[in-house]
A = this chain, B = another copy of it.
């Protein structure tokens, strides 16, 4: 059932001992939303714990340093930024059919929760949570503001992409004025800082870019072997997908990352008007019109062929 702010407020004010689930391969939005919501619940006197199938990347230490929460038997199950229980990883089996409240901004949300606060037009789940806190009249902490800023900034490419709403800018202005957040340092860690290994890998993967369909499709594929040669973790490639649409004529870009189990995690980006969410849904994935993902099994060459033909159909 889809609900509004008022019902979400009632739910949060009356819940207790909540587990907050974030999605696997966690990004700034689900981590920011998870820990931001934990801060808000704390102010309501509700204890909570943030869980994730994967470890939180180190660059989010300034968010996670407050701790994921103590161990207790949850009485409440909340999911943030999760469109589909499949994205919960090992928590799908434990909590997949028990989610009482889901706060999400993906229009592809599968409506799996008892109550879903879905704002499909929002830049990020963090934007919804900030608006909800405002609606509830909860004064958030500076740490909470930094969590929520991080989600908005990362999901919008620092206010760069189409999905950026006027509201996202207004929230950023409000956070800067009211909470004196160190946004430049956050952005530096989210967008600019990298290891020497990654810098070198960036040079290498740019060289790996393959153009298909007359240059309208660019594919960058990074195998496990390459990652191990470069001494880098898969998580360090999280911000690479936008590089696939850096050339002016590219319509669709795909970053293929081989997981340890040999499956390719494919991150799609659309430079202009192609809806990559539709392409990814066809391949069993999903996401946003301009940024979506799916996984593809099989060897590299056949995986590429599958992707190329799917994009070719979409380009029409």
Q: Which A residues are closer than 8 A to B by beta carbons?
A: 157-162, 164-167, 169-170, 172-174, 176-177, 183-185, 187-188, 191-196, 199-200, 202-204, 206-207, 209, 242, 245-248, 271-272
Contact = CB atoms under 8 A, between A and B. Distances in A.
Contact of A191 (B160, B169, B172): B160
Contacts of A166: 172-174, 176-177
11 contacts: A157-B158, A158-B159, A159-B159, A160-B192, A165-B176, A166-B177, A169-B170, A170-B170, A192-B246, A194-B247, A202-B206
A184 B196 contact: no
Contacts of A192: 160, 242, 245-246
A184 B176 CA distance: 23
Nearest to A177: B166
Contacts of A158: 157-160
Given A159-B159, A194-B246, A248-B193, A183 B164 contact: yes
Assembly of this chain: how many copies?
A: 2
Contact of A199 (B162, B177, B246, B272): B246
Contacts of A169: 159, 169-170, 172-173, 176
Given A166-B177, A167-B173, A169-B169, 4 more contacts: A157-B158, A158-B158, A193-B248, A200-B206
Contacts of A195: 247-248
A271 B195 CA distance: 15
A198 to B, nearest CB: 9
A170 B174 CA distance: 9
A155 to B, nearest CB: 14
Given A169-B170, A170-B169, A246 B193 contact: yes
A39 to B, nearest CB: 22
Interface centre among A169, A191, A200 (most CB of B within 10 A): A169
- Nearest first, the 4 A-B pairs at minimum CB distance are A203-B203, A169-B173, A162-B184, A166-B173
A77 B163 CA distance: 41
Interface centre among A159, A185, A193, A194 (most CB of B within 10 A): A159
